[in-house]
Each structure stands twice: as structure tokens, then as C-alpha cells.
Amino acid sequence: MEVDEAIRSRRTHKVFGPDPVAPELLDELFELARWAPNHHLTNPWRFRVLGPQSLAALKLAAGPDAARKLDRAPTLVVVSQVRSEDEVQDEEDLCATACAAYVVLLAAHDRGLAGYWRTPGVLRTAAGLEACGVGEDERFVGLLHLGTIRQPAKPKDRAPVQSFSTYLA
């Protein structure tokens, strides 16, 4: 798949098939993520694939209403960023981690998988972060839902380029 096509055709999916993503395929996605732009090559991203115990703990921390959304996809990946004490480096590392997460989504799409980037409230709590093994020296960035496509997502209109881009003299 060409890069332009991957960017334009990747969609957020909320309906997945039941089969988890194979660990070997996840490793391929994470290997590609390490090529995300990263000032000083700090590799600040961390990817944690939730297993049954960590998912159960996260659901318990989330409560019954929010826990249902954690069952949408068969594979959940918590993305976090190792914090830096240097304020500028910390901001750059956050941006690099977001890029790495997007690389995972694009690479998953290229391999025919569905993806969904969420930022659920439970992962902004101490109990939710603890359930996923995210340390105090890290910042939660996203929860990636991955799996096979069961129901194609419909494209939504995007703002025209002129609404967010400017050429300065």
C-alpha cells in the first residue's frame, strides 16, 4: 500500500473480529514504530499488550459502564511515554510517542487490521495506570484497539486544507 493511500484510507474502527493479533505481527508493528521521528533518539515510547489479568484489572478500575468499551477489540495496547526531567525534551518525547503510536496504526492498516486510538478516563487514574504497569515516571498517551475488520468504518469529511494551513511571508 502506498503511503498516501494508507493515510487517506485508515479509519477508526469500533467493531472487530474476535481473534487477537498474533504476537509476531505485533512485534512487526512495534519494530516499525521505533523508526518514528525522535529527537536525540531517546526512544521514549512504551507499548504494553494487555493480557487477561491486566485487562481484568483495568476493567475493575474502569467500572462497569466504561469496562464495556474495553471489550471492543481482541488486542489492546497501552502506549505511554517515559518522562524526561528536561521540559523541552519531555515535550519532544511526547510528540515522538504519538508519532510512534500512529505508525502502529498505519502499519496495522497496511496489514489489513482495524485500529482505534482511545484515551479512556480510566488510564488517567492511578488504579488504571497501575493495572497496566505504567510507572509514575511515564505519561499515558493512548490505548490502541487492534484486531481484524468486522465492519468497515465509513469515511468522514475532513476540513479543507485552507482552513488549517497558512503560508507566511
Q: Convert the pLDDT of each residue in 120-141 to its tens digit.
A: 999 999 999 999 999 999 999 9
Tell me the per-residue pLDDT of 13-24, one tens digit each, with 9 for 90 and over.
888 999 999 999
pTM equals 0.92
Which residue ranges form the domains of the chain, and what is each CATH number?
A: 3-153 (3.40.109.10)
Q: Is 34 helix (H, G, I), strand (E, B) or coil?
A: coil
* Calpha distance 101→78 (Å, rounded): 10
* Calpha distance 150→152 (Å, rounded): 7
Residue 94 has pLDDT above 90, yes or no: yes
Tell me the per-residue pLDDT of 148-163, one tens digit each, with 9 for 90 and over.
988 776 777 778 888 8
95 to 43, 84, 87, 88: CA distances (angstroms):
11, 13, 13, 11
